[in-house]
Each structure stands twice: as structure tokens, then as C-alpha cells.
Structure 1
Amino acid sequence: MTEPSGETAPEAPEDVAHEDGAPSAGPEEETTGPEETTGPEGNASGPEEETAGGEDGKAAGEAAPELSEAQAELAAQRELRARIEARKAEKSGPVAGGTKLSGTAADLLAAVRAVEGGSASGSAFFEAAPEPPAAPGPREAVRPPAPAVPVPVPAVAPAPAPVVAPAPTAGALAGVREVLARGGAPEALASRTAAALGERAAEALTEDPWRLLAVSGVRPEQADGFARALLGGACGPDDPRRTVALTVWLLDRAALQGHTALTVDEVRAGLAGHGVPDPEQAVETAVSEGAVLLFQEEEVPEGEAPEDPEEDPDGSGEETGAGDDGPSEPPLLGLDRYALAEESLAEGLARLVRTVTPEEWDGGELERAVGGHGLVLHTGGEAARAEPSALAAAARERGLRTLVTVHAPERLDAAERAAGTAVPLAALLSGTAGPGRDEEGALALDLLVVLDAPQLDVETGALLVEALPDGCRLVLSGDPDVLGAAGPGAVFADALAARVCPRVASRRPDPGPLGELVSGIGIGELNQVEAPGKEVVIVPVRDAGEAVHRTVQLVADSVPRAFGLSPEDTRVITVGHGGSAGTRALNAALKQRLNPGPGRFGGYDPGDRVAYAPVPGRTVAGTVLGADAEGLRLRTADGEVVVAKERVESALRHGWALTAHQAAGDRWPAVVAVLPGDAAGGLSRPWVYTAFGRAERHLSVVHGVDQALPRAVAEVLAPARTTRLRPLLTGLLAVPDEE
């Protein structure tokens, strides 16, 4: 193979691919989701969050207390969800949850149901007072009551009015600063602390200094030092306030890795690692105080496992093992936020399965499956995307109200978007695009097709399914081999493993040398492929410095000259944000070459490519247009947006180079995958499959990991996520509905 510049590149190792859900390589790297850990967002899709530094608790940056556009979008989604919850509460009752609890755990589940019905608050542990918190965030449940009188809905429903919460008052901020100063914590934490703990944050910290762990970026050792400074000898490692806060913190950290729950043993081990003398008692205390929930999933009785709609849907000849006899699931601990989302999602999917009217549809396997079922899963690679699109067109010809939604707005077909037949998922949930809604807040749809379904996290999935009316058909389509959602949960994988609905596997292969390479990676083989059109080029490098240099050369010169593309058509994908060839280092080098400037707008200049995270778990590609009094102006696929100046540091990063999680769901004409030597520990089969599969016409692999790449493709799978959706689904749909 040859490099696009025309120079002869040394031949690559026999195999060229690798992937990872593990933390990215490099001593500086911060991870998000399964790949990187950035902060409370817990996603690999957005800019990494600066953590509090060192033992002194020093923190970089200060979150804006006022309501941001991202918070407004989340609040709008919560209001819609509240209307749907009210509608569900008026019906005969929810479908059984499939859990088996006793004693305190049963009482806690009853409390969860009360929260779900709107009769109780779900934030008992972190609520400092009955007043609403200062600014609704991703960990808060804002559930306003449904309107008393339904209002007619226009053809295209506008986004629900956001719930505006007051910013912390000057007095509240002054009180927080005073308490932080007494505890030796930096003043920069004041706004974030007030936003996390509410108007009475100062009183809350005085009573329980470990509540500082609720502030993003604060680590346990920093909270311990703060508590010692405030309490002196009145605190110790077994202080119940400390053990409860640590239990919640461990589960929050697990969510950054994609888990919605952890086993009790894992939590106990984590507590022991932070010096808790009696981890078992600490867990019991956290459960009894309602800080966390305890779950024991009910084992499906023998003979009642759901029947598999088809014997071997993916042609692998392997069974997932769902419903097999074996040991019962270990007890799990989780936060009410994710427990509610998973139970609501499971009940919503079961509702769709049970309320659809089966019909005989002519056509291919996918059309026949959708005609007879309320939920259908469709798997396949890039070429297989044409099948659900054809299904949607056929359904419209049948007179069904049909919509296609995609994860990345850049993947939308311009004609379909103009016709309103396909919309971005975020716009559909916020109400800025898509069909109208009925008087109960449900989408006016008969069929919804979701592309890139592996990118659905559990909370987004719950919001989407709750918005669908009874009798609506839902098709989840995607490639099961790509990296999973940036947020917690494994919606698509869990639904596949539950085996409670038809699963239609596409037999349509991805074409060309790139398709052949990526298909081999999917089954653990890194094969050399013939690339007469330079579709795949290997660029060996000896160290990270050379990797950065060659990457800039490829993006700025070689690829544009060989393929007639502009640098804007090429994306760089690397293992993580940190390290000597992570996104930070690569973006700095690419900016200097492609768009040099002083960075006078918070480090950005007009023309800079950026990755913008309007909400946790979602990355939007954009270009900087300029700045004004309101903030930084960007041009994105959704139009022009303004990022408030207070959010620029936390929500924005340069976007010439991305992580694989940020890139998942999107594609570009050319991709440069950068694998320096220190990235070997971050590689896995899903990572390589995702990164290499983002290229449409050309892939350059800047290769410095030697045999670690083929080993990762052959042997290293993404770490399994601990979730509850699969057993919940099998419990709900194991026995056919008798009604």
C-alpha cells in the first residue's frame, strides 16, 4: 500500500485494526464513558471536564449558575416526560417491573414508584431543602404537573417551555464561599457548589462536608480534607455521612463508564479501597437512607423464557444465553435516576409489544417482521442502512405516519430532512422537529425508525419510548459491533440479548476495500486488503511526535492532493483526549497549520473546527463564526447556535481530532486513525471497528503500536456494562399477556 503523497510506505503488520472501550492511553488522559472519564456528564461525546486538582482541592473553571441552552433543552425534555408520566399514572397501572425485593428494598421500590407517579421527590439524599435547586442539571428530576386542560397541538409541535430555575443569589454564593474558605477549598468551586446543592448549600456543607462530592470534579481525598478542616476530630473514615456520600460517588463514577448499576460486592470493594472500615455496614446505611437502591432481579422460571422469534438472526450460530438455566443475577446497587429510566424504558417497550395490532405485510423479511410486531431490531453495517429507509418509504405508501430519526444530524439526507421524513434524534425529543403531538403528549406516529440505535443511552431511550403512543411500531436499527452509547446503559445490546422480539440481520455487505477491512475486524480478523485506489494506507511511525507530524501532513497535504478533498472533509480519530498524541495535542497542531490565530475568543478563532456538547452524551460538529456579547457563535448542521461565554470552557473543544466515542454515528470522506505507541493499552476490537468504519472513501492509519493492533482486534472486547434492562425485559415479556 502507498501513502497518498505518493511515497512508498513500509508495509504494515499483517493485521491493521483495533478497538477499545477502556480508558485511553497516555498519562494525562481523562476518560469519558467507556473510553474516557470527563466528569458529571459521563460521556465521551463532549469536551472533557477539568477535575479539581491536587490535594488542596484546587479546581479549574467555574460553571455558570444561570440556565444554559443545554439545560433549557434538558428541562424541555423533562417537562414532556412529566406530561407522559401523568398520562401513564391515569391509566390502570404500570406493567409489573420484573424485580423481586423484600424488606427495606421493597420499601425503597415503593418510594421509586411514588417518584415515578409524581407524588414524591426522587432526590431525597441530595436535597438540602424543599426549595427547588438553583439550576436543573442532568442528575435532577424536574417533574412539573401536566396542564389541567389539554391544548390543541399545531402540526409541528414547538419545544415545551423550559422550566426556569433561579440562579443562586449573591447571599447564597457568599455563604458558600465562606464555608469553602473555612474548609480550605478554592473559591472557584462556589458557583458549582451552589448549583449542585441549591440555595442552602452553605448550611448543607456545614452539616455534611462530604456533600462536596456532589460537585463535579471533586475527589474523595479532597472531600476528606475539606471535612477534616471543618469538623476536626469529630469525623473519621467510618462517619456515616462519608460512607453514604462515597457510595453515591462510586455509582456516579460507574455511570461515566456506561454502567447503570454495580454489584454489591463491587461497591463494597470500592469503599474498602477508600478506607471505609466496614463496607458491608456502609452499603446497608446508604440503602436504608435512600441514597441508593438495592435490586435483586427475579429469575425467569424454567419454561417461561421468551420464545426466540428466529433461531439464528445474525448467522453466527451462537446463542446469547438469555433464559438459560444458571445462577440468579447478583444483587445490584443503583441510583434512582437510572433505575427509573431503565424501568420506564422496559415498561414502554413492553407496552409497544403488547398494544400493536399484527398485520400481514408484503415485502422482505424486515417488512414482514414490522407488520406483525410492535418492536423489531435490525442489525447490519453501513450498507444495511438502506433497508430501514426503504421500510419507512413503504410504510408511508401504506398510509402510516412514519418518521426516521438519526443520532448525528450530519447523516441526514438533505431531501428527507427538507420533507420532514427524517429528523435528528435530539430535535425530535426537544420538539423542534418531527410530527405533532396528541392531547396526551404522545408523538403522532404509527412507525418510528431509529438509526444508529447503539448510540442510545438509557435516559434518552426512556424519553423516546415514553413519547410513543400505544400501537406505534418501533424499529431500532444499528451496527452492534460499534462502540456503545457515550452515556450509561446498553439499550440496543440489552434488547438484542433479551430475545423478546424479532431480530432481522442484514446480509448486505459493506462494499470495497474499506468494507472488507471493517467486516474482518468485526469477527476478530485484521486482514490486509487490496487497495488499488489507496482506500487504505498504513503510515508507520516511531514515536508520538512523529505521529503528530505525519497526521498534520496527511490532513493538510497528502489526502487533499490525492483525493481532491479539503481538510474539512477529513477527521482525525485517536484513543483519548490526553497523552502525547491525544485530541488536545493533535488539535493544537492542526489549528496551528490549518487555522492559526491568537484564540482571542476563549481560545478560539473564526474558522476553527469545534466539537460542541449542547447536552451530556451528544457531540455536534461546528465551525466558529465569531463572538459577541452573548457568547461564541457556531455554524452547525442544525443551523447557527450561540454558546454562552460561561460554557465555552466546559462544552467546547477543537474538533479536527476526535475520540472514537465522539465520532461514533457519523462518517467522513476521509479518516486518519492515530495509534501512537502509548495508545496500545486503550485499543480494543470495538474501538478499531468504530474508528476505521468512520471512513467513506479513504483511511490512513498512523501506526505506532506494532503487534498490539492485531492482538486487540483478535482478543480485546469492550468491557461489559452492568445494566438491568435485559432482565427487566425478559421478566416483563417472558409470559404472553393473558388479557
Structure 2
Amino acid sequence: MTALPRGETPGPSAEDTEDGGLAATGTPADEVTADVSTDDTGEETGTSGEAAAGTGGADEAVTPALSEAEAELAAQRELLERIERRKAEKEGPIPAGTKLSGTAADLLAAVRAVESGEKTGAAFYDSPAAPPAPRRTVQPPAPARPRTTDAARPAQGVSPEAVAAAQAVLAEGGAPESLARPAAQTLGEQAADGLRADPWQLLAVPGVRPEQADGFARALLGAGCGPDDERRTAALVCWLLERAALQGHTALDASVVRAALAERAVTDPDAAVEHAVAEGVVLVFQEGLDPTASTGPDQQDQDEQDGAGERIGDDATAVADGTGEEEQPVPVLLGLDRYALAEESLADGLARLLNACEKGTDWSPAASAAPSPSAAELIRTVATGGLVAHSGGEAARAEPAALIAAANGLGLRAFGATHSVDGRHRLATAVGDPTAAVTLAGLLSGTEGPGRDGEGALALDLLVVLDAPQLDVETAAILVESLADGTRLVLSGDPGVLGSAGAGRVFADVLASRACPQVVSRTPDPGPIGELVSGIGIGELTQVEAPGREVVIVPVRDAGEAVHRTVQLVADSVPRAIGVPSDDTQVITVGHGGSAGTRALNTALKQRLNPGPGRFGGFDPGDRVVHVPAPGRAVPGSVVSADADGLHLECAGVPVVVPQDRVESSVRHSWALSAHQAAGMRWPAVVVVLPGDAAQGLSRPWVYTAFSRGERHLSVVHGVDEALPRAVAEIPAQERTTRLRPLLEALPTPDAAS
């Protein structure tokens, strides 16, 4: 890249008139920096996941009849409930903590001495009780599967009576009454009774924090609650794991959970974890012994008799290494049943597809006619494999497109599913057949694609899932369970981009486990942007030549200047100098908050591009927005109008009505997006904003994702000095704790299976 001295930063002057407000193309690695997103998978994206973030899904989604995958998961949960009932019927329930020994038992005895009054102890809280501060209504997350449009979906069947009863209990405990509906939707019709008996159930409502639930519990229970109340500790364990899921984890090391409990004033974390396991709040897994031998409910019953509680209190379980001299520690993981069941169901389903492939069709003519060597390799690999992983950059998307076209030419029912509507359009163009491209949400809901056969399976022979890194584990489990035996599945994507908004790292685990054939594309991304992004992928921020101003660096001194220069680029410089209109230019920044986050940038861009009073809850006709109907799904659109029914949007040509009470939580302006929201989509021009306060949140996957969203042009509003090259070179993807990889590694190889 050509260096651009800071003193020559183009501004709205004669220099701006000369070069269209764009700096000289390229900069040295030490002149580019980036911003940080701390909540890509949080409230703003509805995520965390899928977060979090992320984009994807169809413009509209409808809830079908219960699918086979959903029915299977429901059956597994019913099994858990039966086991719990069987445990409750046992004679002489075991008092909490009786199986503890050593330090854990001493700590539990000390706590009980304090609670009984035999000894004095520190106060539960350092400050007096205070009701939680009022905040806006928190909406509950919808289940991680396709659902009806918000306008058509009832409030999850919650009756007005249940909401009113919950409201009364919340008011009694000093909690915001606006939580009544989310609480009733989360906890069910008996939410009021449940909250009164166990106030810490309030932690299950999205957005509620432990200190708020503690204040609510103190108001209802008074002196009857304490830091080691088993209701509190069980709720905290569940809350910790749910919060970890927003960061992508499907399980956590038991030592991590215990440390977090200690930070929340729990005096005996070992006893708290033991109680949570005994109550079925969490499941225990000992990875390394046997990837399929999780401590599920049935095994848990036996473990209770064998004193498994003592093992949970240790950092790891010791396993003989075969020499008789040493023992190797095996991590003990804690996880919620929903993610445990999803990962195990997914692993079983992938094994079923891997070993049930029909190989009678002759694919050799199609491979010979492939447009590239990598496409030919992919076709030959799919001909003999029921499960194939394909990796590559943006240009490599042409290879699965060629595979789909070849399979359809052989008379097979082949489809490609993408994470976003934009991805679907690009795939349809590459395949040359609009009917062969669908969104993943549309495929599962039945609004797009072939529909289902008489047995409930998707009526297809080959499915290629593009944007595979955006697959969360629950969606992947439902998808795989929807595929019939003999169906070929190809997971295709770029390993360098950000992961899913939801829990899990499906694509990365499949690649790491090497459980199936893998095809790595040899097709490079073209042009200066492709060269820049390819270097980032291997940890190098290289200089690139950009004679057509494909890559432009705009240094800034502070966040205020970053916002000003971004507005100038989108509204004037890029359209004039590059020829890309404002409507086709996307701004990407690290986070939603801060002086140069998506909120600040969207406010400034609206004032310049579509000024108005915001008479529809802050929105005006023509506003560019993103609709987040469910966690991990961000659907671009524009505002049309508003009436008593709600806010009327147009998303990719499809009308969508968002009810008034959902507008605040599910609709955002979208001239500026986070990188998680932008994943899976591309625009002719992209402006990446990297203010100085975002340096600590930068990582190689974030930079890779943001920089690769532009097709023709990339402007980098740079204000983080050395942080960008350091992030690219030294900060890889954040590790996620999952169980899918060891489950897949335990599968027999295709050769062994045959």
C-alpha cells in the first residue's frame, strides 16, 4: 500500500475537490487501525451467538409443524424430566453437601454455622437493598429456529392474567413492571407463583443481572435469603452458562464456573456446583475419557450413588496414562442440556450422513467440465462422500455454485443455502438458477426450497450450506436431522471470518476434527482488496497497490473526526470519486456504543442522508434499517410507513410489519452495522471505522470480516495507530469451549466404516 502521511489527510478542501475526498490508496501496516465491538452478540443483534450478532435468515420466517429434529430434542428433554421425577421419588432425599469432603465440607459447615446463628458472618451485601433501576422493556429471545413474522406471532401464548399476576409480584419486589411480559413468556403461565417461591428465577429473563435478582429476592424474602441459598446458586450457575453461550461456548470448565460463583459472594462454590448438578440444572462431561460418555441424567443417578459429587469439586478428574506411574488430568465440563443434546444430535447426524452416501451416479463428466481445478476437486470429492467440508474466500463461492449446477444437470435435487438474503442472491446468480438458492431459515421453515417429503425430511439429494461459519449448533442440529439418509451435505465457508452469533463453532469443529473429506480452494480473491484480505488471513497486514483507489486509508485523530469523515465518505467522496452511490455503501464499525459506534454513526448518517423528525418511534420513511426478528438474524430493509399495526418495512422486496412493542428491541438504523451483523453479506463499497477507543477489541477475524465485505472499494477510517497490525498478527479468534470436536473425533473414519 502507498503510505499516506498524516499531515496529508484529505479533507473538505481543495484537496478534497481534487481527489474526491479520498486519501491515497493504501497505507503501511502501522498506519491502519480498527475498532472493537463488545456487544455484537448481545442486545443489538438479538444474539450468540447465532451473535450477537450476525446476519442471516430469510426476510420472513414462519413456524411449521413440529419437525423431526424438534420432536427428537423434545423427546430427549422429556426423558430428562422423567429421570428427574424418578430422582424426586427416591426415599430419603440427600441433603445438599453431604457428599462433600475436605475443604468443601468445611466451608459448607461454616456457612451453615453462620446461617444458624452459631457464628457471626459478614453481611450478604455491602450496600442496602435497592430496587433495580428502571429500564426499557426487555423482550425474551425467540427459540433458535424459524418462526413466524413478529406481526403474526402471538405473544407465545401468554395470557393477560399471567402477565398481570407477574406484574404484581414484580412490583412487590421492587422490580420494573415492564419485566412482567418477558417474565411470563420465559417462565410460563405460573410465572408469578414461581417468582414468589424462587425469586432468583428472574435471572432467566434476558437482560436481568444477578444484582438485580438479588435485590428482588431480598425485597420478597427479607432475612430468609443469603448468599448460599441453593435457589440462588442454582440460578447463578444457569445464568453463567447462558451468558457463556452468548460468547459462543456450549460448555464451561467447572473451575471457571466455581471461580465466577466465588466472585458473586458464593462462599462454597463446590457445594453450589454439586447442588446444581444434583438438581439437573446442568450436566457434567468428562472429556478425554470417552467423548460419548457424558454424565447425563441416567449416568448422573449412578454417579450420585458412587460419590460423583466429590469429583466435581476438583479441577479435573485424574485418568491413568497407561504407564502406571502418572495420571493425566481430564477437564470436567458443565453444560446446559439444550446445547449438550444439540451437539450430540449433530454429531450422530453427521456420522449418519457420512456413512450413508449413495455412490451409483457417475460424476466424472461433470468434474471434467468444471470451470476450475478446485471446482473439479470438489465435485469428485462429493461424488464419493456423504459429508464434505469446503473452505475458501469469496471467490471460492463459485466452486459450490458449480457443484450445484453439475448435480442438477445429473438429475439430482441440489440446493444451496446461505446465511443471508444477499448471499442467496449472489449464489443464485453464480448457479444461474434462482430456484436452487435459498436462505437457511427459509429452507427449514418451508417458505423456500423443495419442502419436505412424506417422512418429514427435506426433499433433496444434495445440500450445500454456504457461510458455514455462521452456523450455530442448535440450527445445525435441526438442519442435519432434517436430512434423509443418503443426502449429501457440503459445509462451505471461509474459516477466517467471525463465528456464529449463537453457541457453538460447528464449521471450525468439523474442520479440526477431520471427520470428513476436506477440499481447500486454490482460487484466490482478486484485486487489491483480495490481496489485502488474504494477507490478513495469515496474520500479515501487507501493503497493496491500489491504482483504482480500491483501498483507501483515511487517518483521523479522534472519534469526532472519525464520524465526520465517515459521513463525508458515504455521502460525497465515495459516490463522486468511486462511482458507488450512498445506498450501496455500507459502514462497519466495532461496537454499538461509544462515540463512534453504530448508534452515533447512524444518527449522523441519518441527519445527512435522510433527515426527519423520527415520527415513527425514531424512524422516518426511507430510513435504512436492519430488522432482528430473532437472535443472530439481521435482515436489511427500509422503512415504508407506520400505523396502528406497527412499523412497515420492506426487506428484499418482502413487506414486513413489526408490532409497536417490538420496534425498539428489534429494529435499528443500518447505515452502520457491526462486523457480526455484516457477516455473510457484501456491498459494492464499504467504509470500516476504527476509532481509537476500539483498539482493545480488535482481532484478526474481526478485521478479516470487516475488510472483506467490500466488492469494489474499501475505505478505512483509521485512528488506532499500532493496534491494527498487532491485532492481525497476534490476536486470533477467541476460543470457544465446545464438545462437538471430541464427539466427531470419536466417529469411525469413512474407510473404517466401509
TM-score (norm 2): 0.79
Shift in Å at residue 724 of structure 1? 0.8
Inter-partner Cα distance in structure 2 for 1:432 and 1:329: 46
Inter-partner Cα distance in structure 2 for 1:593 and 1:71: 27
Give the partner amino acid of 1:501.
C
**Paired residues of 2:26 and 2:551 also in contact (CA < 8 A):** no
Inter-partner Cα distance in structure 1 for 2:529 and 2:156: 52
1:572 to 587, 590, 593: 587
**Paired residues of 1:17 and 1:685 also in contact (CA < 8 A):** no
Inter-partner Cα distance in structure 2 for 1:14 and 1:163: 50
User: Is residue 222 from structure 1 mapped to residue 222 from structure 2 by the alignment?
Assistant: no
Shift in Å at residue 550 of structure 1? 0.2
Q: 1:215 to 1:74 in 2, by over 3 A?
A: farther
The structure richer in helix per residue is: 2
Inter-partner Cα distance in structure 1 for 2:515 and 2:644: 53
Root-mean-square deviation (CA, aligned residues, Å) is: 3.3
User: Is residue 259 from structure 1 mapped to residue 276 from structure 2 by the alignment?
Assistant: no
Map of 1:344 onto structure 2: 345
Inter-partner Cα distance in structure 1 for 2:517 and 2:180: 52
**Aligned pairs, how many?**
637
Inter-partner Cα distance in structure 2 for 1:615 and 1:39: 8
Q: Name whichever of 339-348 and 652-661 sits farther off.
A: 339-348
Q: 1:368 to 1:226 in 2, by over 3 A?
A: same
Inter-partner Cα distance in structure 1 for 2:144 and 2:722: 46
1:177 to 167, 175, 178: 167
Q: 1:292 to 1:469 in 2, by over 3 A?
A: same
**Paired residues of 2:562 and 2:596 also in contact (CA < 8 A):** yes
Map of 1:404 onto structure 2: 416
1:280 to 266, 270, 273: 270
Shift in Å at residue 327 of structure 1? 5.5
Q: 1:77 to 1:720 in 2, by over 3 A?
A: farther
Inter-partner Cα distance in structure 1 for 2:348 and 2:535: 37
Map of 1:649 onto structure 2: 664
Q: Structure 2, unaligned stretches of length 5 or more? A: 5-9, 11-18, 89-138, 292-320, 368-375
Map of 2:399 onto structure 1: 387
Shift in Å at residue 726 of structure 1? 0.6
Q: 1:72 to 1:597 in 2, by over 3 A?
A: closer
Map of 1:105 onto structure 2: none
Inter-partner Cα distance in structure 2 for 1:38 and 1:252: 17
Q: 1:39 to 1:388 in 2, by over 3 A?
A: closer
Corresponding residue SS for 1:265 = helix
Offset from partner CA, 1:372-403 (integer Å, 9 cap, x none): 11100001111111011101111111111111
**Paired residues of 1:179 and 1:205 also in contact (CA < 8 A):** yes
Inter-partner Cα distance in structure 1 for 2:201 and 2:709: 42
Map of 1:31 onto structure 2: 39
1:81 to 45, 66, 69: 69
Shift in Å at residue 195 of structure 1? 1.4
**Paired residues of 1:392 and 1:403 also in contact (CA < 8 A):** yes
Offset from partner CA, 1:286-317 (integer Å, 9 cap, x none): 1110111111234469xxxxxxxxxxxxxxxx
Shift in Å at residue 168 of structure 1? 3.1
Shift in Å at residue 42 of structure 1? 3.5
Corresponding residue SS for 2:416 = strand
Shift in Å at residue 446 of structure 1? 0.9
Inter-partner Cα distance in structure 1 for 2:565 and 2:45: 32
**Paired residues of 1:41 and 1:138 also in contact (CA < 8 A):** no
Shift in Å at residue 234 of structure 1? 0.8
Give the partner amino acid of 1:358.
K
Q: Structure 1, unaligned stretches of length 5 or more? A: 25-29, 49-68, 90-110, 126-134, 144-157, 302-323
**Paired residues of 1:47 and 1:652 also in contact (CA < 8 A):** no
Q: 1:611 to 1:142 in 2, by over 3 A?
A: closer
Map of 2:48 onto structure 1: 42
**Paired residues of 2:524 and 2:530 also in contact (CA < 8 A):** yes
Shift in Å at residue 255 of structure 1? 0.7
1:509-658 correspondence runs (5 A): 509-637=524-652, 639-658=654-673
Inter-partner Cα distance in structure 2 for 1:17 and 1:77: 51
**Paired residues of 1:40 and 1:216 also in contact (CA < 8 A):** no
Inter-partner Cα distance in structure 2 for 1:509 and 1:592: 40
Map of 2:356 onto structure 1: 355
Give the partner amino acid of 1:233.
A
**Paired residues of 2:531 and 2:544 also in contact (CA < 8 A):** yes
Map of 2:716 onto structure 1: 701
Inter-partner Cα distance in structure 2 for 1:603 and 1:723: 40
Shift in Å at residue 7 of structure 1? 5.8
Map of 1:369 onto structure 2: 381
Inter-partner Cα distance in structure 1 for 2:275 and 2:650: 50
Shift in Å at residue 141 of structure 1? 10
Map of 1:100 onto structure 2: none
Q: 1:165 to 1:180 in 2, by over 3 A?
A: closer
2:180 to 173, 190, 201: 190
Offset from partner CA, 1:210-251 (integer Å, 9 cap, x none): 111011111101111111111111110000000000000000
**Paired residues of 2:287 and 2:742 also in contact (CA < 8 A):** yes
Corresponding residue SS for 2:629 = coil
Map of 2:335 onto structure 1: 334
1:233 to 220, 223, 232: 223
Q: 1:120 to 1:562 in 2, by over 3 A?
A: farther
2:259 to 239, 244, 269: 269
Q: 1:266 to 1:193 in 2, by over 3 A?
A: same
Q: 1:465 to 1:636 in 2, by over 3 A?
A: same
Map of 1:207 onto structure 2: 197
Q: Name whichever of 549-558 and 634-643 sits farther off.
A: 634-643
Inter-partner Cα distance in structure 2 for 1:374 and 1:170: 50
Corresponding residue SS for 2:29 = coil
**Paired residues of 1:513 and 1:530 also in contact (CA < 8 A):** yes
Q: 1:666 to 1:258 in 2, by over 3 A?
A: same
Shift in Å at residue 361 of structure 1? 3.2
Shift in Å at residue 697 of structure 1? 0.4
Corresponding residue SS for 2:712 = strand
Shift in Å at residue 9 of structure 1? 5.4
Larger Rg: 2
Q: 1:165 to 1:567 in 2, by over 3 A?
A: closer
Inter-partner Cα distance in structure 2 for 1:353 and 1:455: 21
Q: 1:623 to 1:139 in 2, by over 3 A?
A: closer
Map of 1:310 onto structure 2: none
Q: 1:165 to 1:528 in 2, by over 3 A?
A: closer
Q: Percent identity?
A: 62
**Paired residues of 2:469 and 2:506 also in contact (CA < 8 A):** yes
Give the partner amino acid of 2:353.
L
**Paired residues of 1:676 and 1:705 also in contact (CA < 8 A):** yes
Map of 1:58 onto structure 2: none
**Paired residues of 2:470 and 2:500 also in contact (CA < 8 A):** yes
Inter-partner Cα distance in structure 1 for 2:53 and 2:619: 14
Shift in Å at residue 114 of structure 1? 2.1
1:651-670 correspondence runs (5 A): 651-670=666-685
